[in-house]
Structure 1
Amino acid sequence: MHAFFDGYVNSKTTLKQFVEQYENTLRDKAEKESHADFISFNSCIPCVTHYPLEKQFQEAYTIEKFKDFQQELSANLYCEVSLHKENFPCSEFTVGENVMVGNIITTIPFTVLLKEADFEINCNCRLFEFKGIICRHVIAVLIHKKIFFALDKYILMRWRKDVIRCHTKVKIGYDNWSIKPEGHRFDKMCNSFYKVAHLATSNDDNCNIVLEMINDLKMKLISYEGDDRSIQRTINLSDDTADKNFHGASKENRNILTPMAVRSKGRPPFKRKQSKNLERLQSEGLVTITVENPPIFKNNEDNFAI
């Protein structure tokens, strides 16, 4: 069973129950994502150091990912940096990390390569390649070289809190975005722009004109209202709380009813292991077997388990 459905679906869930729980699962995941975005935009975790590097990640990352970064930053205390080899333009450092193995402290060496020309850095622990968070060994080398910032490529877009997710504007059955005033305005603008985009696809000149005008319009809107996404997300969250009645009313209409009870196809059920004498008497017409209240089977959906 996929972890996405934990708490909703198990090995004994029927097909009918799965259809009902599938929508509940998607709704719950969307609400959790919206709540996490709201927390990331309206609260922050204080920095534990005065390094600008930590401040850079605090402003960019979500709450959960910034906690992961702070964990690596705090573990820098157990690392000791030494220069192993320096060959321009690349320098090789050995970072010894003190780890607790049972009751014994053991030093494990790691190799960090730094290209000072373009500030590209990587470690053989491969934490950044595996989880997308720069490791404690890289942080130790950056602080050792007095490099107090990280390149943008080490701040992944997937962890940023200031990224506008396009999928949040898609019409879905378990959210009420489309009935909000923001949703109506968004759909109205998309419909109008669809016609403009259709006309501008004829040649590159028209396309460039449209793109240039869109960029100018975007800069004007930013200068007029500012990039105030936190207030907008506060309004959206309050609208979600106020519209819980809508979810309750619409859920009644979306409930999947029990399938209609129908007779099973084929001949009526009978006892396969009845005695031969009874079968002979029945064939001669001496005994008549009647089946009262034949069992009624529901559709096969209730008989299948996920």
Structure 2
Amino acid sequence: MPFATFVGVNHHGQSIILGCALLSHEDVETFKWVFSTWLSAMGDTHPHAIFTDQCESIMAVIRKVMPNTIYKFCLWHILSKLSEKFKGVADFTKANNEFKALIFDSLMIKMFERNWNEFLKYGLENNEWLTKLYFERESWVPIYLNHMFWAGMMSTQRSKGIHAYFDSYVHSRSTLKQFIEQYEMALCGKTEKELLLEFISKNRLVNCISQFQWEKQFQSAFTHEMFKLIQEQIKRLWYCDMKILNKDEESNEHGMERYNILERCIINDWYHKEFVYSIEHRENGQYFSCKCRRFDSSGILCCYILKMIVTKGIEVINERYLPRRWRKDVHRPYIKKFFAEGYPTMTEEYQKYRELEGDFEQITDIVIGNTQKMEYVKRQLQVLKVILSEWNDGLLASAVDSDTVGVANSDSSIAILNPHEARSRGKPRSN
């Protein structure tokens, strides 16, 4: 049976599983059941945006079940069809490169429209595939979708990675019972990897690569993987030829300053590309805006805004540019939560432990972020600890001598003694 997954991104940039389904068919009714059941499991919380393949059945279901969700086609699937769709073009290599430049280098919608019309000169005016793509351009061209937050995702390749991850747990001949057990073990492995990165981010530091004070802000706030993305943008300040071309003082109004920044992007030893990006800055409230919209789509400041920050001599940036989505100091209770039913090999003692731990986690979720509630819980726990330590339920021995440790058996008066010390194997200890 086909294995379908809902995949997201955590604050470390890792792929996480939001749900899965085994499909009997790949038609409208089946996808309608899958999406409806998934939304029910997610507390009927609809995603703001979702990546899908160019499947008519999936598109029809999303429009009906999640009408307010923005869906985006996978760019990788579109580009993988170029060799098939352009096989009749005389200069295929040139057409292929121009089509990719048309997608990724169009900085404005007007520029994309103009470049698209110029691209059709290869004799592709009557190409049905291109005509359909143009009709659906708002669902796959980045310039139409960069205003939405996509967590840095460009395609459905993360879903393919999850499928490869499950290959080490299940295969096509696995039974349903084996799949359920191995699925839980696979999720356990994903959670352990996330907990490891959580520990590393909170207990280690990635060294700064500059002397900018605002880089230290990102260092202390972001997880390691997200901070490294910021550092990639900082490196582009050094290795890209970026210059402020002009400052249009006449157009400045209401405290808004507008600049043009030129980037000379070195593709290889003999080919350079030049892009001009418009940057807006409002000193009141420290507001920045860039035409590339990297921050809107990924939550990471682009090198063009960083260039503006350096030029203006700003040392501390506004907290709005340290989004909660990538921070390491935010409590995320889902990380430590497993399945309520427990794993197949879970012992009865561990189940009791998990049940008690769940109550403490709920209390922690309630009081986190409120100092008064936290102090109250701490005081009550101290009182509870004293009461439990002095608790006498009839099992404690009435008297314990210096050679006896432990409790007396309720059915006999024989005390449990310490075991005799045994000499360890190997070479004797020496100073």
Report if TM-score (shorter chain) is over 0.5.
yes
Q: Which has the higher contact order (CA 8 A, sep 6+)?
A: 1
Q: Structure 1's 168 and 125: CA in aligned 2 closer, same or farther, altered over 3 A? A: same
2:248 pairs with one of 62, 75, 85: 85
1:152 pairs with one of 305, 313, 319: 319
Return the alpha-carbon distance in structure 1 between the equivalents of residues 283 and 260 of structure 2.
16
Return the alpha-carbon distance in structure 1 between the equivalents of residues 312 and 200 of structure 2.
35
Give 1:46's aligned residue: 207
Return the alpha-carbon distance in structure 1 between the equivalents of residues 237 and 264 of structure 2.
10
Return the alpha-carbon distance in structure 1 between the equivalents of residues 310 and 353 of structure 2.
45
The answer to whether the 8 Å contact 1:5/1:25 transfers is no
Please report how far the alpha carbon of residue 26 of structure 1 lies from its aligned counterpart in structure 2 after TM superposition.
Answer: 0.7
Q: Structure 1's 105 and 193: CA in aligned 2 closer, same or farther, altered over 3 A? A: closer
Deviations 1:172-213 (A, max 9, x none): 33599x95999677545568899xx9xxxxxxxxxxxxx9xx
Which 10-residue stretch deviates more, 73-82 or 37-46? 73-82
Please report how far the alpha carbon of residue 95 of structure 1 lies from its aligned counterpart in structure 2 after TM superposition.
Answer: 1.0
Return the alpha-carbon distance in structure 2 between the equivalents of residues 63 and 193 of structure 1.
25
Give 1:58's aligned residue: 219
Return the alpha-carbon distance in structure 2 between the equivalents of residues 44 and 150 of structure 1.
20
Give 1:122's aligned residue: 289
Please report how far the alpha carbon of residue 84 of structure 1 lies from its aligned counterpart in structure 2 after TM superposition.
Answer: 3.0
Q: What amino acid is the match of 1:5?
A: H
More helix by share: 1
Deviations 1:141-185 (A, max 9, x none): 011011122211111112111111121343533599x95999677
SS at match of 2:260: strand
Return the alpha-carbon distance in structure 1 between the equivalents of residues 325 and 184 of structure 2.
25
Would you say how many aligned residue pairs link Structure 1 and Structure 2?
Answer: 204
Map 1:1-306 onto structure 2 (within 5 A): 2-3=159-160, 4-9=162-167, 12=172, 14-16=174-176, 17-77=178-238, 78=240, 79-86=242-249, 87-88=252-253, 89-102=255-268, 103-172=270-339, 173=342, 179=350, 186-189=357-360, 215-218=371-374
SS at match of 1:122: strand
Over aligned residues, Cα RMSD in angstroms?
3.4
Unpaired runs of 5+ residues, structure 1, are 198-210, 223-306
SS at match of 1:143: helix
Deviations 1:58-83 (A, max 9, x none): 00001111100000011112222244
Q: What amino acid is the match of 1:36?
A: L
Return the alpha-carbon distance in structure 2 between the equivalents of residues 192 and 101 of structure 1.
54
Deviations 1:207-238 (A, max 9, x none): xxxx9xx642436889xxxxxxxxxxxxxxxx
SS at match of 1:80: strand
Return the alpha-carbon distance in structure 1 between the equivalents of residues 352 and 261 of structure 2.
55
Unpaired runs of 5+ residues, structure 2, are 5-158, 379-431
Q: Structure 1's 99 and 183: CA in aligned 2 closer, same or farther, altered over 3 A? A: same
Which TM-score applies when normalising by structure 2? 0.42
Return the alpha-carbon distance in structure 1 between the equivalents of residues 244 and 352 of structure 2.
56
Q: What amino acid is the match of 1:30?
A: T
Aligned structure 1 segments of 4 or more residues deviating by more than 6 angstroms: 180-185, 190-194
Please report how far the alpha carbon of residue 122 of structure 1 lies from its aligned counterpart in structure 2 after TM superposition.
Answer: 1.2
The answer to whether the 8 Å contact 2:265/2:273 transfers is yes
Q: Structure 1's 7 and 184: CA in aligned 2 closer, same or farther, altered over 3 A? A: closer
The answer to whether the 8 Å contact 1:97/1:109 transfers is yes
Return the alpha-carbon distance in structure 2 between the equivalents of residues 31 and 82 of structure 1.
49
Q: Structure 1's 219 and 104: CA in aligned 2 closer, same or farther, altered over 3 A? A: farther
Q: Structure 1's 26 and 143: CA in aligned 2 closer, same or farther, altered over 3 A? A: same
Q: Percent identity?
A: 25
Return the alpha-carbon distance in structure 2 between the equivalents of residues 110 and 121 of structure 1.
13
